[in-house]
Amino acid sequence: MSKEECKDVADVLRIFSGSSHPELAKEIAGYLGCPLCPTETQRFSNDNLFVRLGESVRGKEVVIIQSFTPDVSDHLLELLMMLDAARSASAKTVHAIIPYYSYARSDKKDEPRISIAGRLIADLLATAGASHVMTMELHSPQVHGFFRLPTDHLTAHGEFVRHFRTRNLDNTIIVAPDIGHAKRATKLARALGVRIAAGDKERLSDERVRINGIIGNVTRKDVILYDDEIATGGSVEAIVAQLRKRKVQKVTLACTHGVFSGSAVERLRKIPEIVEIVTTNTVPIPPEKRLPNMVVLSVAPIFGEAIRRNLMGQSVGALFAFWPDLEDRTPRH
C-alpha cells in the first residue's frame, strides 16, 4: 500500500487479536500499517471469562482476529465477547476475521438429534455483534450460506500456486483425498498445468477412514496430495497406502489448515513417501509440530489485502475460494 492509503486505513481502523493466534494478527496489522490494539482477557475464580478492548472504538472500523483452535470453546466465547464489546462501544462496523472456522465440518444433520453447529455458530456471531465475517477455505463450501451477514470466503490458492510453480512438475499429479474436495484440487491442477486424481474415501470415525481405491492413473507419478485441512492424519495414512500399491515414491502434502491434532505429527513422520508438507499459518503451528520437511506459507497478506479492499470499497472477488483463475493453463499430456 502507498503511504497515503496506510494513513487513510490507520485513521479509521482498530485491530484487535483474540488469544488463539496473536502472531498472525500482528502480521495482518503489519501489512495494513496499523498497530495491534491491546486487549485484556482474564478468567474469574468461577471460570467465567472477562474481556476488555484496550482502546476506544467509537465510530471506528473494528477488526477482531480469532482462529478456532484448541481450546475452541474458550476462543469462540472470547470472540463473541469481543464482538459484543465492540458493538456496545459504538464501533461503526465490526469485522470478525476467522482464518480457521473449525465448525465448517458440522454442515448437515447426518445423525438423529444433533446440532448443525456450523449454522449455530454463524448465528451466534451475528447475534454477538459481527457485521461482517471473513474466513478461509471452509471444509464444506455450503457453510458459507449459513451466515446471514456479509461473509468473504477467501482462499490460499495463489500461495500454493506460487510455491509449486518453482519446481519441475512434468511427472506430477494432484490427488484429492475424496470426490467431495475434487473441485479445489482441480483448480490447483489447472493452474499448475497438471492432471488430477481422487480417492474413493469412506469416513468410519473422527480418526478412521477407508480408501476403497483411487480414480485416475497415479502409477509411478509424483503426487501432490491436496486437502483443505489435515487433522489426525488418518486420511493421509490411508490414501498413501493406496498410492504405495501404485508404485508412488514421492508424496507432497498440501493443506490450508495444518491442525495436526493428537498423534498426527508422529503419524506423518513415519510415512517415508512424504517428502514435503506445505501448509499455511491459519492456525498456529508450534515448534514441536514443525517437521524438518514442513513449509508454512503466510496468509497474512491475503487477509490484509481483503480487509484493505473492504475498507476502500473495492472488490475482493479475486480472493474468493471459488473465483475463476484467469491464469489457469490446460493440463500437461
Positions annotated as catalytic residues are: 201
Nearest Cα neighbor of 21 from 233, 258, 207, 226 is 258
Contact (CB, 8 A) for 204 and 210? yes
**The three three-digit cell numbers of residue 167, written as one number:** 519446481
Backbone angles phi, psi at 207, to 5 degrees: -110, -5
Buried b or exposed e, range 77-113, using 16+ CB within 10 angstroms: bbbbbbbbbbbebebebbbbbbbbbbbbbbbeeeeee
Give the CA angle between residues 324, 329, 332 to the nearest 5°. 140
**Distance of alpha carbon 9 from alpha carbon 57, whole angstroms:** 14
Helix, strand and coil in the chain, % to nearest 5 = 35, 25, 40
Q: In DSSP terms, which residues pair with 99 in a beta bridge?
A: none
Q: In DSSP terms, which residues pair with 51 in a beta bridge?
A: 41
Q: Look at residue 272 and give its three-state secondary structure.
A: coil
- Residues ≥6 apart with Cβ < 8 Å to 45: none
